């Protein structure tokens, strides 16, 4: 498996971690077609995105956003940021270019390709150190044609509570895009704190990754 290559989709629920995600949260819009320039001599990056299905006023009220183009499908905006202030840059320090970026309702989703699960584990661990609400959405091995993730995992490694947390999160739409429920909603349903929910979810995802590595 380590030689096959893996396509990974991750989500980050903290809007403040990314200007693109914060725009989708504040303006209630879907953000797609994200593009980035190479950093200049000062480490600044120019980033653009298309916003659809919203009143442009919420975005234009932001001093850091500039409208650059308008089409029938949406409005193109541009902003500048530091190279170090970005989820994608954190991923790419592991030599895994981000292939796709989009956001809605404050949730950032990104797709990248990794050479093996050890690299995926390192990236997920690092993102969880930097940001809240990091979830591993899917992993597909090179050559898979079924759109459903085909990597098998051993769920027996999970405790009953971790299994319950995962099942409740799935049932309530926590992993959907856009979300059917946030961390607070799921925690309330389980009668636990948000921090406890996050701990159980992180432990479950770590065990599932360990199960994958062992295959």
pLDDT, tens digit, 9 for 90 and up, residues 107-125: 899 999 999 888 988 998 8
pLDDT, tens digit, 9 for 90 and up, residues 159-185: 888 889 988 988 898 877 677 888 899
pLDDT, tens digit, 9 for 90 and up, residues 18-74: 888 888 888 888 888 899 888 888 888 899 999 886 666 788 888 888 999 988 778
In sequence order, the β-bridge partners of residue 128 are none
Q: What are phi and psi of 98, to 5 degrees?
A: -75, 125
* Residue-level pLDDT at 77: 92
Residue whose structure tokens are 């319950």 = 164
Intervals of CATH 1.10.10 along the chain: 155-214
Reported in sequence order, the residue ranges of 44-183 that DSSP labels E, i.e. its strands, are: 44-52, 66-71, 74-82, 98-104, 107-114, 134-141
104-118, 125-139, 141-155: segment of lowest average pLDDT: 141-155
Residue 154 in this model has a pLDDT that exceeds 70: no
Asked whether 81 and 45 are in contact (CB, 8 A), the reply is: yes
Beta strands 107-114 and 74-82 are: unpaired
CATH number of 155-214: 1.10.10
CA–CA distance, 175 with 171 (Å, rounded to integer): 9
* Residue-level pLDDT at 13: 84
């Amino acid at each position: 498996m380590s030689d096959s290559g893996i396509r990974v989709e991750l989500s980050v629920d903290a809007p403040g971690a990314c200007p693109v995600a914060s725009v989708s949260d504040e303006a209630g819009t879907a953000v797609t077609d994200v593009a980035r320039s190479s950093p200049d001599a000062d480490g600044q990056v120019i980033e653009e995105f298309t916003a659809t299905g919203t009143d442009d006023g919420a975005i234009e009220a932001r001093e850091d956003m500039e409208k650059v183009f308008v089409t029938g499908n949406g409005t193109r905006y541009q902003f500048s940021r530091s190279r170090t202030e970005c989820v994608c840059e954190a991923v790419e320090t592991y030599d895994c270019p981000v292939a796709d970026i989009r956001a809605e309702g404050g949730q950032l989703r990104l797709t990248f390709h990794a050479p093996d699960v050890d690299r995926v584990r390192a990236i997920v661990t690092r993102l969880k150190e930097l940001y809240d609400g990091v979830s591993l959405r899917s992993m597909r091995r090179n050559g898979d044609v079924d759109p459903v993730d085909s990597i098998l995992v051993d769920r027996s490694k999970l405790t009953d509570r971790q299994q319950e947390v995962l099942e409740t999160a799935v049932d309530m739409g926590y992993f959907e895009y856009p979300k059917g429920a946030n961390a607070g909603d799921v925690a309330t349903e389980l009668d636990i704190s948000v921090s406890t929910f996050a701990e159980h979810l992180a432990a479950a995802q770590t065990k599932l990754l360990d199960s994958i590595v062992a295959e």
